[in-house]
Amino acid sequence: MTTFENKSELKGKRALVTGGSRGIGAAVVRGLLDAGAEVLTTARSTTTAAPEGAAFVTADVRTPAGVEALASAAREVLGEVDILVHNVGGAEPYKDALAIPDEGWRDALDLNYLASVRLDSLLAPGMRERRSGAIVHVSSAAVLTPIGPFLHYVAAKAALEYYSRGLALELAPHGVRVNAVSPGRTATPGGEATRELWARLDAAPGHGDVTAPPLGREGRPEDIAEAVLFLVSERASWLTGRNLIVDGGEYPMG
């Protein structure tokens, strides 16, 4: 899938994408490369190769040490970071909200919220000094209709969205834009594995509902990547502090 007609739209830009070895993250990486950007991406393991043309480093962003190692690798490989896309995320479903253990809450917050906060704190100051940069946090449209088995996940993503708005206001006077993208149901390896696990649980009513979104299909990773790539480009130069919901019309307006 061709993302940019102008193959040099992001030429000279240096981008870091977390969770970029498969699914939405890999589609974002491919789109950035197609547009001429230099890209570094990361995952927790090396079992899945990153898209061809991207640099890759293994990092566990659930921990402060892992985030610091990733930031150091980004500076070493890219020099500076102009585009930062926080795509990494996910959580294990439980039977219901009250069954989520303390470690489940901690892991969800570390991966889906604090990883972004920590990495921004290390890389956004450089953007602020250069008075240029774009940050995109990948959230989830599920925040609009939270359900018990995933309450730890959607609560962390809701925190990420409000954090994004606040950071956008703080960085806007310095020429740095911060936005969020909230995917609906998207056909990715991680999403499929999570849905299979959920189907085996005696979860909340409706958890097995597979009705297609109003547009008649699940999203493709490229559908979400298009939104991310638009937001990091100059075509979105007057957009900041926004959350773009890409869900095929599945969720009600927030």
Instruction: Name the residue with higher pLDDT: 116 or 45.
Output: 116
pLDDT per residue as tens digits for the range 138-159? 999 999 999 999 999 999 999 9
Neighbouring residues of 229: CB distance < 8 A, sequence distance ≥ 6: 3, 4, 28, 31, 32, 35
DSSP code, position 7: T
pLDDT per residue as tens digits for the range 159-206? 999 999 999 999 999 999 999 999 998 875 655 555 555 555 664 454
Please give the structure tokens belonging to residue 236.
Answer: 């979105």
From the candidates 94, 113, 153, 163, which is the catalytic residue? 153
CA-derived radius of gyration, the chain: 17
What does the alpha-carbon distance between residue 199 and residue 149 come to, in Å, rounded to a whole number?
11
Residue 234: pLDDT over 80 = yes
Tell me what pLDDT residue 212 has.
78
What does the alpha-carbon distance between residue 9 and residue 32 come to, in Å, rounded to a whole number?
9
Tell me what pLDDT residue 137 has.
98
**Which amino acid is present at 58?**
T
Tell me what pLDDT residue 45 has.
76
What does the alpha-carbon distance between residue 75 and residue 153 come to, in Å, rounded to a whole number?
30
Of the candidates 186, 76, 200, the residue with the CA atom closest to the CA atom of residue 141: 186
Residue 56: pLDDT over 50 = yes
Asked if 153 is an active-site residue, the reply is yes
Tell me what pLDDT residue 48 has.
65
What does the alpha-carbon distance between residue 112 and residue 115 come to, in Å, rounded to a whole number?
7
Core vs surface per residue 107-143: b (16+ CB within 10 A) or e: bbbbbbbbbbbbbbebbbebbeeeeebbbbbbbbbbb
Domains detected in the chain: 14-246 (3.40.50.720)
What does the alpha-carbon distance between residue 6 and residue 3 come to, in Å, rounded to a whole number?
9
Tell me what pLDDT residue 214 has.
84
Tell me what pLDDT residue 188 has.
59
Torsion sign, CA atoms 72, 77, 79, 83: negative
**2 falls in which pLDDT band (50, 70, 90)?**
very low
What does the alpha-carbon distance between residue 171 and residue 168 come to, in Å, rounded to a whole number?
5
pTM for the full predicted model: 0.90
